[in-house]
Amino acid sequence: MNFGGDAADQVVRYSLEGIDYSLRLSGTLAKNLAVFFAAVLKDQKKTYGKTRMVRMLKENRPLKFFTVPSDRLKEFAREGKKRGLLYVVIRDRKNPSQCEIMVFADDAAKVNRVMDKM
C-alpha cells in the first residue's frame, strides 16, 4: 500500500478542480463585462438620421420645421442621411399627404439643399 500516492492524487485533483472553477468564474465575468460594454457603447447619441423628438428637445437648441409630402419621405430620409441631418418626422393626422420635418436651426441650409434636390 502506497499512501503517499493517494494524497498526491487528491492534491492534483483538488488543484485541477480549483483551476476549472476559477476559469468558469472568469469566463462568466468576461461575458458580463462584454454585455455591459456593449450596452454602454450602444447608448451613444445619434448624429444623423431619424431620431426621437424627446432627444432633440432635450438639447435646447433652436428648431425649424419643414413640410414634406408623405410620398417623398423616403427620398428625404435617404438624402438627409447622406448630408448628416438629424431629423424628426411629425405626421399630420388631418392631412396624411403632408408630413412635418423638425430639424435643428443650424441644419436649415442642408434641408433647403435636400428639398431643392428632391
Q: Residue 113: give its domain's CATH number.
A: 3.30.70
Residues of the chain falling short of pLDDT 50: none
What pLDDT shows up at residue 40? 76
What pLDDT shows up at residue 33? 87
37 and 57 belong to one structural domain: no
34 and 76 belong to one structural domain: no
90 and 66 belong to one structural domain: yes
Residue type, position 21, single letter: Y
> What is the domain range of residue 69?
49-117
What pLDDT shows up at residue 101? 92
Length of the chain: 118
**Separation of alpha carbons 71 and 77, rounded Å:** 11
What pLDDT shows up at residue 39? 76
What pLDDT shows up at residue 43? 65
**Separation of alpha carbons 55 and 49, rounded Å:** 13
- Number of domains present in the structure of the chain: 2
38 and 76 belong to one structural domain: no
53 and 110 belong to one structural domain: yes
What pLDDT shows up at residue 62? 93
pTM of the model: 0.58
53 and 39 belong to one structural domain: no
Show Cβ contacts of residue 61 under 8 Å, excluding neighbours closer than 6 positions: 104, 105, 106
C-alpha cell recorded at residue 50 = 431619424
